[in-house]
Structure 1
Amino acid sequence: MFYQLYEMNHAAMVPFRAAADVMRLAYRNPLNPLTHTVFGRAMAAGLEVFERATRRYGKPEFGLAETLIDDRPAAVREKIVWQKPFCDLLHFERALPAGHAPDPKFLVVAPMSGHYATLLRGTVEALLPSAEIYITDWIDARMVPVTDGNFDLDDYIDYVIEMLHHLGPDTHVIAVCQPSVPVLAAVALMESNGDPFVPSSMTLMGGPIDTRINPTAVNALAETKPLDWFRDNVIMNVPWPQPGFMRAVYPGFLQLSGFMSMNLDRHMIAQKDFFVHLVKNDGDGAEKHRDFYDEYLAVMDLTAEFYLQTVETVFMKHALPKGEMMHRGKRVDTSAIRNVALLTVEGENDDISGVGQTAAAQTICTNIPDDMRMHFLQPDVGHYGVFNGSRFRREIAPRIVNFAREHGRTSKSPVKRVIKGGKAG
């Protein structure tokens, strides 16, 4: 019922948003004398802030049409190469120059935690010049009919294994944040089964492998509430007329409320600064705000079964680091991983996955040889900086590519490992 009221409220706001947009255009029309006054700019700015604050943000585009390969522009084409009801696998197909040596092949597993895969646009953009990139494009659960069945953490792991099979041998997998646990579990299961398509290397970035280490506010919530509390308070049915009508989900708007409440003061200041930028005609500052919030405010629903199973397995029971995680009746044994190189990456100021939570993978994967493992702590970055931004492009992305080149099975090339500005081991 609450979800339906939310939808009705959005529908009721449509004429007010339309009116605000019309008035904003009027105050920005160069033929309007008020446009050139502080009053006119302030009115236009206030109307835009109102329209954007009440808008529903759709799924963003990656928009990566070009990259640089060997210092020359190369066209990039986005292509779906594998599909399931809850996920598309996208390939960023590059127009490689003649004679270009093969690059490492990466499966980037994007978080299924509220935002779309486009949150990793900067991650993909930084890796594209040096790698063949595939990324999981998770589908908004409200868009999947109930006739397509359920999707839980076990299904997530199955999807990862199926995608690795589809991509074939010598694939390198990258898990950003939430998927670190299911990706590590998938690799462990593949190794246990002697799967020939096990990835050559696995990179885990800012992930909750063991949330008992340096617990954050996100971890504390799961520790203080029983699972029934989450089921009773955050699970709702998708309202009509969405394709996923009556599917039980954790709604995106509730997730967004949680995200924003953690740093509410920063978001309020950002809105004020946006208003000031518009009044001062500071186009660059205003455009940066639009770009960030167009992505940040675009959220998707998660299936109830996936969300609840993840909360219980990862944040309440800490099943993976305890060696108690099960997948379809089989125990996930991380000590079975012997042939997959492991790189873990953390941010010094991460307030989502505390320092040490991702590095715990190095401890529980006991049988990976020392020369096939590496940990990197990036100073002065928070959670977002682990996979995006200038420091990611300059410090982290080159390490990921070099690590993959060093541990590729079909085309190994010696790479000198140089660590600057961080800690490695």
Structure 2
Amino acid sequence: MMTITDLRGQTLSPSQLLALVPRASLDVGVAIEAATSIVDAVREHGVQALLDQAERFDRVRPEAIRVERSAILRAVDELDPLVREALTESIARVTASSRAQVPGEQVTHPAPGASIVQRWQPVSRAGVYVPGGKAVYPSSVVMNVVPAQVAGVAQIALASPAQAEFGGSVHPAILGAAGLLGIDEVYAMGGAGAIAALAYGVESIGLAPVQVITGPGNNYVAAAKRLVQGRVGIDAEAGATEILVIADDSADATLVAVDLISQAEHDEQASAILVTDSADFASAVDAEVARLSPLTASADRVRAALTGPQSTLVVVDDLAAAASFSNAYGPEHLEIQTADDDAVLGLIDDAGAIFVGAHTPVSLGDYLAGSNHILPTGGQARYSSGLGAFTFLRPQQIVRYEAEPLAAVAERLVALSGAEMLPAHGEAVSARLRRP
């Protein structure tokens, strides 16, 4: 069912590996042109553009973009008890792990009477995006909102696509999760238009611009985030989901297969990759994928993802080569299922989140591990991280010098300012030394 890529007997450089890694045929760059027109429409026409886009993409024209607080409270009351229990537990676990991401204030003293305070200051207003197209993600409400709250963000606006099934409002499960977290600023708007509205604001519906936008989405959402970056901060251009599994023949082929399928059900553009040092194991996983994937509720979507150019079974000479391939790929989700997981883990540098051992599937991280499931895709894990409390924090330096430590560095400072042909810099110090 899946293609097999045989890299045995080849010694590949990092750049050659980077050229070989599979990617979806539709990437963020391809989506830029379409996203640009959507973003521009929202900037120019505001709520009218959002309503037109909902009608075009979500097949419904909402009566109102902003969701009433009463609807949010009602959604909380109507949550399935077990779903509510799961969300409450997820909130507690993500809160605990997010608290560990907030650095404490640090003070250094370069000299007596001189201090530099390093503090981490939250943004005052954040916008979070929760997808709602092919699936519904109340768990993403938790993953977006909790780190922002832990960081100390005072205002959080949540956007999610309008749902035709619910009269153009946001899906009740998403509203219920928002309500559990005390979020009452919720907007029924999706896709690139929602990102534009959060970045630029829509005055007629009381939506003020935000400083940071976070949350997963499709390639058009990722493209819109690229377009507004600079006006606002973003977490990452998180596009279609990815899973890469490093496994040897000690692993269970059925478990690897169900993990590949679990991520493939997100989207036809989802990427699912196995890297193994055993050709027999690759064949066994392929057979299990072929057997199990037709049994899922989203079998057509799974088949499209697993047979697309972004998914493959890779056979390499050894697990060191497997780790090198993974580092070049920079997966959103990396699973390690081998006879010596820690040895392989020691070779890994680049991954959004790493799931170690046969009893740690990616789906655990999606819901109740306590880790955050909003992670970089498309190779961005090679240089950026997943979402955390730190996403909403800015390091600031607070500098205090008294007269004596200023005088102690004055001669050298004036020399440097002269060397840079910026003498007024030095004069700003010298002028202070001449005063009583």
TM bin, normalised by shorter chain, reads under 0.3
When normalised by structure 2's length, the TM-score is: 0.27
When normalised by structure 1's length, the TM-score is: 0.27
Bigger Rg, structure 1 or 2: 2
